[in-house]
C-alpha cells in the first residue's frame, strides 16, 4: 500500500514503517497519525508479518513532535477530538498482537516520545534525545505521554520532565528504563531486527498473550491476574502449545504456526 507520509517495506516477516517527513523532522500531522494507524491495522491482518519496526527518515529525528501548525484555531472540543484520535492510534500500537519496536534515530520529543512509548520495545541511537516539552508551548501531552512516562520511569522523574520540559539523553533514558538498548546510530535497525528474529522464533500465539497480559496491568477496572489466567488457558488450546511441548520432549527446535 502506498502512503503519503510513510515508507513501508516487508523483509523476512518484519514490517518497517518509516515516518517520511524529514523536512519537518518527521513531525506528526493528522494525516501521518492516520496512516500509522492504517499500517498497524494492515499488519494485524497479515499473517506473514511477525514483527514491526517504526523509525523516522533521516539522521536527525525519529519524530520531533506534533505538527504544531495544525493546532492553531482548534476549539476546545476539536482539541479533545484531536487528542482522542491520536490516543486511539497509539493504543492500537500498544495492543498490537505483533511485537512493535521503536528504532529511535534522533529526536523523540512530544508526540515522538509518546509514539516510542506506545511501542513494546525501544532501541535508541547514541544521538537520541527524549522529552515532553509541551509546557513550553502552553500545552500538555495529547497522545498518552502523561500516563505512559509514569509507567516506564516512575512518577517522580516523569513529573519533573513534564513540568520542566527538559530533554534527556539516550544514556539517561536507558538508566531510567525508558529504552531497552542504546547502540551506535548505524546499528539501530540491525539491533531491532536481532530482537525481532529472536521473538519470531517463539510462539506467535504466546507472544500475543504476553502482550495482552502485560497491557492489562495498567487497564482500569481490569484484573491483570485474571487476564493472565484467561490467556494461559487459551494457550493450552493452541497448536503452538502442542508443537512447543512436543519439540521440548523430542529435544528439537519448535516450528510454530501461530494457531
3-state secondary structure 196-254: HHHHHCCCHHHHHHHHHHHHHCCCCCCCHHHHHHHHHHHHHCCHHHHHHHHHHHHCCCC
Catalytic residue, chosen from 70, 114, 172, 186, is: 114
Report the C-alpha gap between 219 and 149 in whole angstroms. 15
Q: Which helix (H) or strand (E) covers residue 10, if one does?
A: strand 6-11
Tell me whether residue 94 is one of the annotated catalytic residues.
no
The string of DSSP letters for 75-142 reads -HHHHHHHHHHHHHHHHHHHT-SS-EEEEE-SEEETHHHHHHHHSSEEEEETT-EEE-GGGGGT---S
121 phi and psi angles, rounded to 5 deg: -135, 160
Catalytic residue, chosen from 77, 126, 134, 194, is: 134
Tell me whether residue 114 is one of the annotated catalytic residues.
yes
Cβ pair 169, 129 in contact under 8 A: yes
Q: Measured in Å, how far apart are the chain's first and last C-alpha atoms?
A: 26
Cβ pair 39, 45 in contact under 8 A: no
8 phi and psi angles, rounded to 5 deg: -130, 145
C-alpha cell at 230: 484467561
Which residues are the active-site residues?
A: 114, 134
Amino acid at each position: 500500500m502506498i502512503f503519503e507520509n510513510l515508507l513501508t517495506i516487508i523483509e523476512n516477516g518484519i514490517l518497517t514503517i518509516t515516518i517520511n517527513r524529514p523536512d519537518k523532522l518527521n513531525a506528526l500531522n493528522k494525516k501521518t497519525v492516520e496512516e500509522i494507524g492504517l499500517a498497524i491495522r494492515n499488519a494485524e491482518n497479515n499473517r506473514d508479518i511477525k514483527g514491526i519496526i517504526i523509525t523516522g527518515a533521516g539522521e536527525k529525528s525519529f519524530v520531533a513532535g506534533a505538527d504544531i501548525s495544525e493546532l492553531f484555531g482548534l476549539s476546545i472540543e476539536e482539541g479533545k477530538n484531536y487528542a482522542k484520535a491520536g490516543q486511539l492510534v497509539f493504543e492500537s500500537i500498544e495492543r498490537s498482537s505483533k511485537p512493535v519496536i521503536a528504532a529511535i534515530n534522533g529526536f523523540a520529543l512530544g508526540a515522538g516520545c509518546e509514539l516510542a512509548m506506545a511501542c513494546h520495545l525501544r532501541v535508541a541511537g547514541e544521538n537520541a534525545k527524549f522529552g515532553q516539552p509541551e509546557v513550553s508551548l502552553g500545552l500538555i501531552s495529547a497522545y498518552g505521554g502523561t500516563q505512559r512516562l509514569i509507567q516506564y520511569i516512575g512518577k517522580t522523574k516523569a513529573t519533573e520532565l513534564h513540568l520542566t520540559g527538559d530533554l534527556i539523553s539516550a544514556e539517561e533514558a536507558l538508566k531510567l528504563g525508558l529504552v531497552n538498548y542504546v547502540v551506535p546510530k548505524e546499528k539501530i535497525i540491525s539491533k531491532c531486527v536481532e530482537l525481532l528474529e529472536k521473538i519470531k522464533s517463539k510462539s506467535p500465539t504466546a507472544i500475543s498473550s504476553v502482550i495482552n497480559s502485560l497491557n492489562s496491568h495498567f487497564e482500569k477496572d481490569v484484573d491483570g491476574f485474571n487476564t493472565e489466567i484467561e490467556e494461559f488457558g487459551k494457550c493450552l488450546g493452541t497448536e503452538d502449545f502442542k508443537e512447543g511441548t512436543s519439540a521440548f520432549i523430542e529435544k528439537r527446535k519448535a516450528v510454530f504456526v501461530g494457531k
